[in-house]
């Protein structure tokens, strides 16, 4: 069945004429399905529209029984139409009734039709309807016919969402969600509390014309806009290198790659050939990408599609001449950005002194934008479902980065409570700032080394601002995660040199690449695993891919020439793995020395203690390492067989359980017996109650987020370590539950701020 002589371009022009008529919405839809059926020489054309509750309702048909209109309904995922809606992909079948998802609706009379072509009607990557053509003869529809129906569906999306169809779910006469208060929950991406007013990061791009009059002219407009886009990306990269450091340039390299991607550009040109304007072509390809993105679970693949979506928005704004993002407008001094998603480069576009917080619908803890928000110290909450639909620019909003709470248009009681909370927090911060240069020594004279965890150059000012003694954990993988391709030797060397220079002589522990589990690299092929947290990751990967480990070690050893270098190996489960890693270090040192490179003044090697098996090898391990670091985050999840990222298990097992504390005590005792320095760098070190318990077990070095240094130091200065240790030790062999109540009671009775 070839396309009619009308052709897709003529069909689009006819559709535009129909939309301009002063007719009811139903009359327009009836005419449209008749036009499509005629154009595609189809015996049936049907339009289904998404209704509340995830129902697809037959809204118009040519060929099926008219009495079925507004009566035939399918749930998303039900039947062929429901399958198309659920998967956001077309179905092209020569015998529809043999498909396992086929569902017979007797009121439609469709049993006599065999061939079936259905496409989703997408708006912003979300399915808002389904368009179907059918014929009696068994045949496969051609690619041209698929393309024509997809292009038509895109125009229909504009009709459905335009507001002309007041009956459909997308056009609501009065939306009470935009006037009442809301309390929404999400995931905390970056800690802190912010009160301010909503600024929608991405004002709605209004496309007034989808149907092309002059195809060559539209292609020329697209080429010019793409050239402008590519120039703007180059400017962003240059700006990042000059003002913000090399790691931001790495983030933006992915934009450079996509901006020059030939496949993306080819698909947009092909969409223009179907009769769309340049804007329509960009939106058509963007909708397809968004639909794919919504079905991908891998956070890093989604992040890459986010980058592409960001570029498409920038391209649309160039073509339409509309404001790029809110970053180009006048921002209030208490801006809280709200967006479905953002690229990290977009966050860097905003004036830092006006930005109070960020709320996102889609970003997770491992997304690039979350990493940058944490590095900049901006409170952020992600995975806040539906936030964009219920806020308007200027609405008052509260972001609680600690609890993952967002309050939209909060009542005065909530606003006053949070305002007091912020004032209290500010007073506390001022008190902590006054302690910056005060040594962290307990009341009974025990010196404690307080260090910070870091992973980006932008973290380094926190080292001095917080008064920390050093960096107890430098996560080298963040540089790799934010790069578009594997960082070369000179890039890694420059990065590590800059970190060492910024530390100004304070000690740094560099953890080698800890990739795997929830941290993957899009440019590094990794096998799909059933249980990646306990799979091929960290030192296991490094020892099998020696070239990657050797390259990183070469960069570290060269960057630290003449200085002390501390290297920490993650996820060690057997002493033999540490020995193998140590042998690689010695090999790289020998190669560098042979080539005349200056080596570090000293090289100290340590291992993370996070795999429980290592706890039964401590005597052997302590004879071989220069230092150890307890990774309480992974140690906890392996100890309790509890996925730390699982929402239902969050908080189920307490770090102050005797089992955890007893293991920490055992490591501290063994390390002390062998004279090996021991540090704890997990999240529990940054919470005063947990940090107090660690000191009671004999730890004298802990590492935490920079913001935690003040509260923890305040606790240390008020603590009598020996008295608390005498109180804590007997409890470890007692209850089979968390010791938190007992420890908090001791703190209250002894006026220790926790």
For the chain, the average pLDDT equals: 84
Q: Going edge to edge, which strands form the sheet with 44-51?
A: 73-75, 55-62, 44-51, 126-135, 115-123, 91-93
Evaluate if residue 6 carries a pLDDT over 60.
Answer: no
Evaluate if residue 281 carries a pLDDT over 80.
Answer: yes
Q: Looking at residue 266, what is its pLDDT?
A: 87
* Residues near 125 by beta carbon (within 8 Å), at least 6 away in sequence: 88, 286, 287, 289, 290, 291, 293, 294
pLDDT in tens, 499-551: 999 999 999 999 999 876 656 666 666 666 667 667 778 898 889 889 999 99
Q: Looking at residue 260, what is its pLDDT?
A: 73
Q: Looking at residue 527, what is its pLDDT?
A: 66
Confirm if 48 and 40 have CB atoms less than 8 A apart. no
Burial pattern 31-47, b for ≥16 Cβ within 10 A else e, equals bbbbbbbebbebbbbbb
Residue with tokens 């130091």: 713
Evaluate if residue 380 carries a pLDDT over 80.
Answer: yes
Q: How is domain 435-749 classified at the CATH fold level?
A: TIM Barrel (3.20.20)
Evaluate if residue 690 carries a pLDDT over 50.
Answer: yes
Four-way CATH pick for 182-205+213-418: 3.50.30.10, 3.90.660.10, 3.30.1390.10, 1.10.287.3510: 3.50.30.10
Evaluate if residue 368 carries a pLDDT over 90.
Answer: no
Q: Looking at residue 8, what is its pLDDT?
A: 61
pLDDT in tens, 186-219: 988 888 889 999 998 876 677 777 788 888 999 9
Evaluate if residue 659 carries a pLDDT over 70.
Answer: yes
Which of the pair, 311 or 135, is modelled with greater confidence? Answer: 135
Alpha helices in 63-191, H assignment, sequence order: 79-87, 143-161
- Please name the helix (run of DSSP H) or strand (run of DSSP E) that holds residue 583, with its range, or none: helix 575-594
- Which of 239-253, 266-280, 671-685 shows the lowest per-residue confidence on average (mean pLDDT)? 239-253
Q: Looking at residue 468, what is its pLDDT?
A: 94
Tell me what the mean pLDDT of segment 98-126 comes to.
87
Q: Looking at residue 572, what is its pLDDT?
A: 95
Q: How far is CA 208 from CA 162, 279, 399, 651, in A?
A: 11, 9, 35, 50
**What are the tokens at 43?**
């015996």
Q: Looking at residue 494, what is its pLDDT?
A: 93
- Please name the helix (run of DSSP H) or strand (run of DSSP E) that holds residue 413, with its range, or none: helix 412-434
Start-to-end CA span in the chain (Å) = 75
Burial label for 609, CB within 10 Å (0-12, 13-18, 19+), is: buried
Evaluate if residue 681 carries a pLDDT over 80.
Answer: yes
* Residues near 48 by beta carbon (within 8 Å), at least 6 away in sequence: 56, 57, 58, 59, 74, 81, 85, 129, 130, 131, 132
Task: Parse the chain into domains and list their residue ranges.
Answer: 7-161, 182-205+213-418, 435-749
Evaluate if residue 174 carries a pLDDT over 60.
Answer: no
pLDDT in tens, 484-498: 678 899 999 999 999
Q: Looking at residue 421, what is its pLDDT?
A: 80
pTM, entire model: 0.60
Residue 341, strand partner residues: none
Q: Give which of 583, 595, 531 is closest to 558, Cα–Cα.
A: 595
Evaluate if residue 389 carries a pLDDT over 80.
Answer: no
pLDDT in tens, 634-656: 898 888 887 665 556 666 778 89
131 phi/psi in degrees, rounded to 5: -115, 130
Confirm if 752 and 692 have CB atoms less than 8 A apart. yes
629 phi/psi in degrees, rounded to 5: -135, 125
How many residues does this entry show for the chain?
754
Evaluate if residue 150 carries a pLDDT over 80.
Answer: yes
DSSP code string of 616-668: GSHHHHHTT-SEEEE-HHHHHHHHTT--TT-TTTTTSS-TTSHHHHHHHHHHH
pLDDT in tens, 40-51: 889 999 999 887
**How many Å apart are CA 25 and CA 467, to the nearest integer?**
67
Q: Looking at residue 295, what is its pLDDT?
A: 61
Helix (H, G, I), strand (E, B) or coil at 593: helix
Percent of the chain with pLDDT over 70: 84
Pairing of strands 115-123, 126-135: antiparallel
Q: Looking at residue 238, what is its pLDDT?
A: 65
Q: Give which of 622, 658, 626 is closest to 639, Cα–Cα.
A: 658
Which of the pair, 556 or 29, is modelled with greater confidence? Answer: 556
Q: How is domain 7-161 classified at the CATH fold level?
A: Beta-Lactamase (3.30.450)
Evaluate if residue 55 carries a pLDDT over 80.
Answer: yes
pLDDT band at 1 (very low <50, low <70, confident <90, very high): very low
Percent of the chain with pLDDT over 90: 41
Evaluate if residue 672 carries a pLDDT over 50.
Answer: yes
Q: Looking at residue 525, what is its pLDDT?
A: 67
Q: Looking at residue 167, what is its pLDDT?
A: 47
Residues with active-site annotation: 368, 681
pLDDT band at 5 (very low <50, low <70, confident <90, very high): very low
Distance of alpha carbon 26 from the chain centroid: 41
């Amino acid at each position: 069945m070839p396309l009619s002589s009308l052709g897709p371009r003529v069909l689009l022009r006819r559709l535009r004429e129909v939309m301009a008529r002063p007719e009811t919405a139903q009359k327009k839809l009836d005419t449209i399905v008749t036009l499509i059926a005629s154009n595609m020489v189809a015996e049936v054309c049907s339009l289904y529209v998404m209704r509340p509750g995830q129902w697809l309702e037959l809204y118009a048909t040519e060929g099926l029984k008219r009495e079925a209109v507004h009566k035939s309904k399918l749930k998303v995922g039900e039947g062929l139409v429901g399958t198309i809606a659920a998967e956001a992909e077309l179905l092209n079948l020569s015998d529809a009734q043999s498909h396992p998802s086929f569902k017979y609706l007797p009121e439609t009379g469709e049993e006599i039709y065999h061939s079936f072509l259905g496409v989703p009607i997408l708006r912003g990557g979300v399915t808002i309807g389904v368009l179907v053509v059918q014929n009696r003869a068994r045949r496969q529809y051609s690619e041209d016919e698929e393309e024509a129906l997809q292009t038509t569906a895109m125009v229909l999306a504009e009709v459905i969402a335009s507001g002309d169809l007041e009956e459909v779910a997308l056009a609501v006469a009065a939306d009470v969600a935009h006037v009442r208060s809301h309390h929404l929950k999400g995931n905390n991406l970056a800690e802190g509390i912010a009160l301010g007013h909503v600024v929608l990061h991405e004002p709605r791009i209004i496309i007034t014309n989808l149907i092309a009059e002059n195809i060559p002219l539209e292609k020329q407009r697209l080429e010019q806009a793409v050239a402008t886009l590519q120039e703007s990306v180059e400017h962003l990269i240059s700006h990042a290198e000059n003002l913000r450091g090399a790691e931001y340039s790495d983030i933006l390299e992915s934009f450079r790659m996509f901006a020059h991607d030939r496949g993306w550009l080819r698909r947009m040109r092909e969409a223009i050939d179907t009769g769309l304007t340049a804007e329509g072509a960009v939106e058509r390809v963007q909708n397809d990408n968004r639909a794919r993105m919504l079905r991908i679970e891998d956070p890093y693949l989604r992040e890459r599609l986010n980058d592409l979506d960001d570029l498409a928005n920038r391209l649309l704004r160039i073509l339409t001449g509309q404001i790029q993002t809110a970053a180009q407008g006048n921002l209030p001094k208490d801006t809280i950005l709200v967006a479905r998603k953002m690229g990290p480069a977009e966050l860097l576009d905003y004036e830092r002194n006006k930005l109070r917080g960020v709320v996102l619908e889609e970003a997770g803890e491992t997304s690039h934008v979350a990493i940058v928000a944490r590095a900049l110290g901006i409170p952020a909450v992600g995975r806040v479902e539906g936030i964009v639909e219920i806020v308007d620019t200027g609405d008052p909003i509260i972001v609680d980065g600690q609890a993952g709470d967002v309050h939209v248009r909060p009542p005065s009681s909530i606003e006053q409570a949070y305002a007091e909370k912020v004032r209290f927090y500010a007073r506390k911060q001022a008190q902590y700032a006054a302690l910056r240069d005060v040594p962290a020594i307990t009341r009974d004279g025990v010196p404690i080394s307080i260090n910070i965890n870091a992973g980006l150059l932008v973290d380094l000012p926190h080292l001095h601002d917080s008064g920390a003694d050093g960096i107890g954990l430098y996560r080298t993988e963040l540089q790799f995660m934010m790069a578009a391709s594997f960082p070369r030797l000179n890039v890694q060397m420059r990065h590590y040199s800059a970190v060492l220079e910024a530390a100004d002589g304070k000690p740094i522990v560099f953890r080698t690449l800890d990739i795997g589990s929830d941290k993957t690299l899009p440019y590094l092929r990794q096998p799909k695993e059933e249980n990646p947290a306990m799979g091929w990751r960290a030192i296991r990967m490094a020892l099998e891919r020696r070239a990657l480990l050797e390259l990183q070690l070469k960069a570290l050893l060269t960057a630290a020439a003449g200085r002390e270098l501390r290297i920490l190996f993650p996820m060690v489960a057997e002493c033999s793995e540490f020995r193998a890693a140590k042998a690689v270090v010695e090999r790289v040192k020998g190669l560098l020395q042979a080539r005349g490179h200056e080596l570090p003044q000293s090289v100290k090697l340590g291992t993370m203690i996070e795999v429980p098996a290592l706890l039964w090898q401590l005597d052997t391990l302590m004879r071989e390492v220069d230092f150890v670091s307890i990774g309480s985050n992974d140690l906890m999840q392996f100890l309790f067989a509890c996925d730390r990222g699982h929402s239902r298990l969050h908080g189920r097992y307490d770090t102050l359980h005797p089992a955890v504390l007893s293991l920490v005590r055992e490591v501290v005792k063994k390390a002390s017996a062998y004279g090996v320095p021991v540090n704890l760098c997990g999240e529990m070190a940054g919470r005063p109650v947990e940090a107090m318990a660690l000191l009671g077990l004999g730890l004298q070095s802990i590492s935490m987020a920079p913001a935690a240094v003040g509260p923890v130091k305040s606790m240390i200065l008020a603590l009598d370590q020996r008295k608390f240790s005498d109180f804590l030790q007997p409890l470890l062999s007692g209850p089979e539950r968390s010791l938190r109540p007992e420890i908090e009671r001791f703190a209250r009775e002894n006026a220790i701020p926790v």
